[in-house]
């Protein structure tokens, strides 16, 4: 934009109103790339909304939801759900939607369930014809998706969508007897439609279209941006309820202490998530949160996560880990940029951010190509980050003039892209003297009472003449000037259009570039998915390195868990010296562990440590223990005090009862149950009776009794022998000893008291361990062959000496 004030004989004028003219007034401050990126993140946090559609049909649940933060539809294939709709509850807890769409004709269970949900949810009921199977399918197939290039034919589009969304699925085979003559058997697959899932997707699309989510103010032909469909399954989930997340301090959100950040919500306090979250990008953090909310017993998945962590823990791979971590810093909010492109709202900074992201992704790809392809994630990044990325990068790099765009705060292209644009720019360069000339000529023809005028050029509007508002200009007709159109009155100046603008080829080019990028949106979505995964695993590896975690083993055939010298991941960071403890349950080690000990002897920490180590292993993280073997675990239940009683509006005793009832009703032979101080909220006799009754109930189940850890101060439970004797129950105690008038805590779990053996002070034990470790280390040095050409001293020092040294010190 350019403007010029002229007053050959009269008072000179400044630049025209609102004219951010080049050369005559300084351009409006343009945010630098960093500033611009931060602005995006804030925006994303503020606007993120989730809309969910759920249908429950003959015991099967279909769920689909739209997340505005990544403009993606997530869907869950039909899964059986219990009548109490636990699966749905789990999804709701996890995603916390703003609105829920469901069928107007629903079954009693669903009505009851929805009735109990919080008031800050809005419900929308769709009538049956709107969410019919066929109509939903048609809606899905005819949708306008940015990840499908315009060049695809209708048939290709159907085939492509069917590969992402399983419209039909061959679930079973029917045995058909052959005709008598041939007497052969034939097997015919029966296509089985997945009705609820497709209908839920259809219902969601209908809702999004009708409410115009995210495009409320756009032109009607602009559709809701959908950047992808992602399937999620909750079939291998380990069941963990919200109480458990809170008492084990897996998540802990606190209000942000900074007054400026109150609006942006909560920050993570001291929690497991807090110490493991070293993710470089927002999307990594989001994925880590998702993994935390979905612990799984899918061993393939867990081991593939652990393989990557183990690889990065090798000392020789530390540099590579750091380089990948740096590259991940370039991967920015791609969905937001794609969404803006889809709506043609692309900002100047978006091009720069996208360019950096694509280059970052190419860097990741090249790095991963040099890593062992036996590790799935490296193979995926090496293959899936296709040459489309090169194409996008070279297009942007060749066309976009970053400096010019930032300076002018609008999209500008580099020279030699379009001769017409170059010519226009050349003319614009000479614009100041040209405008002076025009202004002088115009002033000669104006009313003599007008003392001065300016000519402004605004690329998208054209040439404007600006004159000061004079006292006689009162009525609308006073603003009319012969041969000119009156445009607007602004800050005491009147604006009149002099000519029509140049057709803006640069905007046209930007539009074409946008289409090219959108046609390759699939690779960008893939970049985000795989980069987030890499980010999470690098974060977990970094935590494992710093805190000395080890790789857990999974043995589904083994019952219970075995932990060698386990630690509480949070307490070990706060305590001056943390005493590790081992755990064994299942098999011949019994299923019920009753832990007694005086107050503050470490019972609760021990229970939580068992829960946390198991949880970490089920998330695919290394664990704070020397060794851990995790058997089949399908759920973790807890009854441990938290401070939530006020917000729940229930008495502490009622909360106790509710939580234990939940465990009694749901825990299976593969569940872990952690009970701390149950029965304390009422009088001693009643409390003791309740605790004993619950444990006896479980013990009566014999081999299907869950793995239970109970910490209690009710010594009578042991002394009065209220529990049946047998191999299922084991009594443990927290070791302490009296030193004069003081009670000394050893924080060691032991069954010595029951077996009548003397307790050894922990110092002696530690000394003995130290001696053994020293001996092993010396042996290793003695065996070292310094003349061996294959010997790598760096590896020897970092893998053998350093770990041993930390356990000695």
Q: x-or-dash pattern for ligand ATP, window 346-375, by CB under 6 A?
A: ------------------------------
What order do you get walking across the sheet with 561-566 strand by strand? 553-559, 627-632, 561-566, 581-584
CB of 640 to ligand ATP, least distance (A): 9
DSSP string, 351-420: HHHHHHHHHHHHHHHHHHHTS-TTSHHHHHHHHHS-THHHHHHHHHHHHB-HHHHHHHTS--B-TTS-HH
Which of these segments, 124-132, 398-406, 485-493, 601-609, binds ligand ATP (CB under 6 A)? 601-609
Report CA 531 to chain centroid distance, whole Å.
12
State the Cα torsion 204-205-211-214 to the nearest 10°: 100
Instruction: Report whether 279 contacts 288 (CB < 8 A).
Output: yes
Task: Report the C-alpha gap between 491 and 17 in whole angstroms.
Answer: 7
State how far the Cα of 298 lies from the Cα of 527, in Å rounded to an integer: 24
Is there binding between residue 603 and ligand ATP (CB under 6 A)?
A: yes
Residue 578 found at the interface with ligand ATP (CB under 6 A): yes
Minimum separation from the CB atom of position 571 to ligand ATP (A): 6
Contact stretch for ligand ATP (CB under 6 A) within 254-262, 363-371, 421-429, 594-602: 594-602
The answer to whether 602 contacts ligand ATP (rule: CB under 6 A) is: yes
Interacting residues of 343 by C-beta distance below 8 A, sequence separation 6+: 215, 218, 222, 225
Shortest Cβ distance from residue 732 to ligand ATP (Å)? 12
**Contact residue for ligand ATP among 605, 632, 688, 729 (CB under 6 A):** 605
Using the rule CB under 6 A, give the single segment among 183-191, 341-349, 480-488, 599-607 that binds ligand ATP: 599-607
Nearer to ligand ATP, 143 or 624 (CB): 624
Site size toward ligand ATP (CB under 6 A) is: 14
Task: Using CB atoms within 10 Å of the CB of residue 526, give its burial: 0 to 12 exposed, 13 to 18 middle, 19+ buried.
Answer: buried
Beta carbon nearer to ligand ATP, 575 or 774: 575
Across the strands, what pairs with 4? Answer: 455
Judged by CB, which is closer to ligand ATP: 579, or 672?
579
Q: How far is the CB of 133 from ligand ATP (least distance, A)?
A: 55
> Least distance (Å) from ligand ATP to the CB of residue 260?
34
With CA atoms as reference, report the closest residue to 636 among 666, 677, 592, 661.
Answer: 666
Residues 410-439 that bind ligand ATP (CB under 6 A): none
Closer Cβ to ligand ATP, 241 or 735, answer by number: 735
CA distance between the termini of the chain: 70
Residue at shortest CB range from ligand ATP:
602
Site for ligand ATP in 730-769 (CB under 6 A): 747
Our CB check for ligand ATP shows the closer of 72 and 733 to be 733
Taking the complex as a whole, how short is the minimal distance between the CB of residue 695 and ligand ATP, in angstroms?
18
Q: What interhelical angle do 521-547 and 505-519 show, nearest 10?
A: 60
- Cβ proximity of 55 and 34 under 8 Å: no
For ligand ATP, the closer of residues 203 and 597 by Cβ is: 597
Q: For residues 90 and 296, give the distance between their C-alpha atoms in angstroms, rounded to a whole number.
A: 14
Give Cβ neighbours of residue 638 (< 8 Å, ≥ 6 apart).
243, 244, 247, 248, 611, 659, 673, 674, 675, 676
Q: Which of 5, 16, 597, 631 binds ligand ATP (CB under 6 A)?
A: 597
State residue 750 phi and psi, 5-degree precision.
-150, 150
| Nearer Cβ to ligand ATP (145/549) | 549
For ligand ATP, the closer CB: 196 or 733? 733
- CB closer to ligand ATP out of 221 and 599: 599
- Residue closer to ligand ATP by CB (options 424, 641) is 641
Buried b (16+ CB within 10 A) or exposed e, 336-371: bbbbbbbbeebbbbbbbbbbbbbbbbbbbbebbeeb
Where helices occur in 566-602 by DSSP H, the ranges are: 571-574
Concatenate the DSSP letters of all residues of 161-227 into one string: HHHHS-SEEEEEEEEEEPPTTT--EEEEEEEEE-HHHHHHHHHHHHHHHHHTTT-TTS-TTPPPP--
Question: Per CB under 6 A, does 273 bind ligand ATP?
Answer: no
The binder of ligand ATP chosen from 76, 131, 521, 579 (CB under 6 A): 579
Least distance CB 803 / ligand ATP (angstroms): 21
5 is a site residue for ligand ATP (CB under 6 A):
no
Residue 396 or 579 with smaller CB distance to ligand ATP: 579
What are the tokens at 16?
């025209």
Is there a contact between 639 and 678 (Cβ–Cβ < 8 Å)? yes
Cβ proximity to ligand ATP, 2 vs 616, nearer residue: 616
The CB-of-599 to ligand ATP minimum distance in angstroms stands at 3
- Which residue, 604 or 659, is less far from ligand ATP as judged by CB? 604
Q: Between residues 416 and 599, which has the closer beta carbon with respect to ligand ATP?
A: 599
Q: Which is nearer to ligand ATP, 513 or 711 (CB)?
A: 711
Which of 3-11, 57-65, 598-606, 660-668 is the region at the interface with ligand ATP (rule: CB under 6 A)?
598-606
**CA separation for the pair 206, 140 (Å, rounded):** 10
Name the segment binding ligand ATP (CB under 6 A); options: 313-321, 483-491, 573-581, 701-709: 573-581
Closest approach of Cβ 602 to ligand ATP, in Å?
3
The window from 141-149, 264-272, 570-578, 699-707 that contacts ligand ATP (CB under 6 A) reads 570-578
Instruction: Record the tokens describing residue 323, joined without a space.
Output: 């380089």
- The tokens for 662 are 């939940």
d(CA 679, CA 794): 56
- Go through the chain and tell me how many residues it has: 809
Candidate ranges 230-238, 355-363, 603-611, 776-784; the one touching ligand ATP (CB under 6 A)? 603-611
Q: DSSP class of residue 245? A: H
Burial 449-469 (b: 16+ CB within 10 A, else e): ebbbbbbbbbbeeebbbbbee
Q: Which of residues 686-715 bind ligand ATP (CB under 6 A)?
A: 713
Token pair belonging to 181: 């003559």
- Residue 600 near ligand ATP by CB under 6 A: yes
Residue 599 touching ligand ATP (CB under 6 A): yes
Does 613 bind ligand ATP (CB under 6 A)? Our answer is: no
Using CB under 6 A as the binding rule, whether residue 502 contacts ligand ATP is answered as no
User: Among 575, 669, 692, 774, which residue interacts with ligand ATP (rule: CB under 6 A)?
Assistant: 575
The burial of 279, by beta-carbon neighbours within 10 Å (0-12 exposed, 13-18 middle, 19 or more buried), is given as buried
Binding site for ligand ATP (CB under 6 A): 571, 575, 578-579, 597, 599-605, 713, 747
């Amino acid at each position: 934009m350019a403007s010029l004030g002229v007053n050959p004989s009269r008072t000179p004028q400044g630049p025209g109103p609102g004219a951010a003219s080049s050369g005559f007034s300084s351009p409006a401050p343009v945010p630098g790339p960093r500033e611009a990126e931060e602005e995006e993140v804030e925006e994303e946090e503020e606007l993120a909304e989730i809309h969910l559609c759920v249908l429950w049909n003959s015991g099967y649940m279909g769920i689909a939801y739209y997340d505005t933060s990544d403009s993606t539809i997530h869907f869950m294939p039909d899964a059986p759900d219990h009548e109490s709709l636990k699966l749905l509850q789990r999804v709701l807890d996890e995603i916390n939607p703003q609105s829920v769409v469901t069928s107007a004709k629903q079954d009693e269970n669903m009505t009851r369930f929805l009735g109990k949900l919080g008031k800050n949810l809005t419900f929308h009921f769709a009538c049956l014809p709107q969410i019919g199977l066929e109509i939903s399918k048609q809606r899905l197939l005819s949708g306008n998706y940015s990840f499908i290039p315009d060049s695809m034919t209708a048939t290709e589009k159907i085939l492509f969508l069917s590969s992402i969304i399983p419209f039909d699925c061959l679930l079973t085979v029917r045995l058909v007897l052959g005709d008598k003559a041939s007497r052969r058997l034939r097997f015919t697959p029966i296509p089985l439609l997945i009705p609820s899932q497709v209908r839920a997707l259809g219902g969601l699309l209908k809702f999004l279209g009708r409410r115009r989510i995210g495009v409320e103010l756009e032109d009607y032909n602009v559709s809701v941006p959908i950047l992808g469909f992602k399937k999620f399954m909750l079939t291998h989930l380990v069941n963990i309820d919200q109480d458990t997340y809170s008492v084990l301090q897996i998540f802990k959100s606190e209000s942000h202490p900074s007054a400026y950040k109150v609006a942006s919500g909560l920050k993570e306090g001291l929690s497991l998530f807090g110490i493991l979250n070293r993710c470089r990008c927002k999307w990594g953090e989001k994925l880590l949160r998702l993994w935390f909310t979905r612990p799984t017993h899918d061993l393939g998945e867990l081991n593939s996560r652990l393989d990557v962590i183990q690889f990065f823990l090798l000392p020789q791979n530390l540099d590579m880990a750091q380089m990948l971590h740096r590259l991940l810093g370039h991967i920015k909010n791609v969905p937001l940029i794609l969404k803006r492109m889809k709506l043609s709202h692309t900002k100047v900074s978006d091009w720069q951010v996208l360019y950096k992201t694509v280059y970052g992704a190419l860097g990741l790809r090249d790095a991963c190509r040099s890593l062992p392809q036996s590790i799935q994630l490296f193979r995926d990044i090496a293959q899936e980050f296709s040459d489309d990325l090169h194409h996008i990068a070279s297009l942007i790099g060749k066309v976009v003039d970053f400096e010019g765009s930032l300076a002018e705060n609008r999209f500008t292209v580099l020279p030699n892209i379009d001769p017409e644009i170059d010519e226009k720019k050349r003319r614009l360069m000479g614009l100041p003297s040209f405008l002076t000339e025009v202004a002088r000529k115009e002033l000669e023809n104006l009313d003599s009472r007008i003392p001065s005028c300016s000519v402004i050029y605004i690329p998208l509007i054209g040439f404007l003449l600006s004159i000061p508002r004079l006292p006689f200009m009162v009525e609308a007709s006073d603003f009319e000037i012969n041969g000119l159109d009156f445009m607007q009155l602004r800050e005491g100046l009147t604006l009149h259009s002099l000519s029509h603008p140049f057709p803006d080829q640069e905007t046209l080019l930007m539009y074409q570039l946008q289409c090219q990028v959108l046609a390759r949106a699939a690779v960008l979505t893939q970049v985000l998915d795989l980069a987030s995964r890499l980010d999470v695993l690098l974060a977990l590896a970094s935590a494992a390195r710093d805190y000395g975690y080890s790789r857990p083993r999974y043995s589904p055939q083994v019952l219970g868990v075995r932990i060698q010298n386990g630690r509480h991941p949070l307490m070990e960071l706060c305590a001056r010296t943390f005493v590790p403890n081992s755990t064994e349950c299942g098999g011949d080690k019994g299923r019920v562990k009753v832990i007694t000990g005086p107050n503050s002897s470490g019972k609760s920490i021990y229970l939580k440590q068992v829960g946390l180590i198991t949880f970490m292993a089920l998330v695919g993280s290394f664990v704070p223990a020397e060794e851990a073997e995790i058997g089949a675990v399908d759920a973790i239940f807890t009854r441990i005090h938290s401070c939530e009683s006020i917000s729940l509006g229930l008495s502490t005793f009622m909360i106790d009862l509710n939580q234990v009832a939940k465990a009694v009703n749901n825990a299976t032979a593969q569940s872990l149950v952690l009970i701390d101080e149950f029965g304390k909220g009422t009088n001693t006799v009643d409390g003791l009776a309740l605790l004993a009754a619950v444990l006896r109930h479980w013990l009566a189940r014999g081999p299907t009794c869950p793995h239970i850890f109970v910490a209690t101060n009710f010594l009578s439970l042991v002394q009065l022998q209220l529990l049946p004797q047998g191999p299922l129950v084991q009594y443990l105690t927290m070791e302490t000893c009296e030193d004069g008038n003081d009670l000394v805590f050893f924080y060691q779990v032991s069954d010595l008291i029951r077996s009548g053996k003397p307790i050894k002070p922990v110092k002696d034990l530690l000394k003995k361990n130290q001696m053994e470790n020293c001996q092993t280390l010396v042996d290793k040095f003695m065996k070292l062959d310094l003349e061996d050409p294959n010997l790598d001293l760096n590896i020897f020092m970092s893998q053998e000496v350093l770990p041993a040294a930390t356990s000695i010190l």
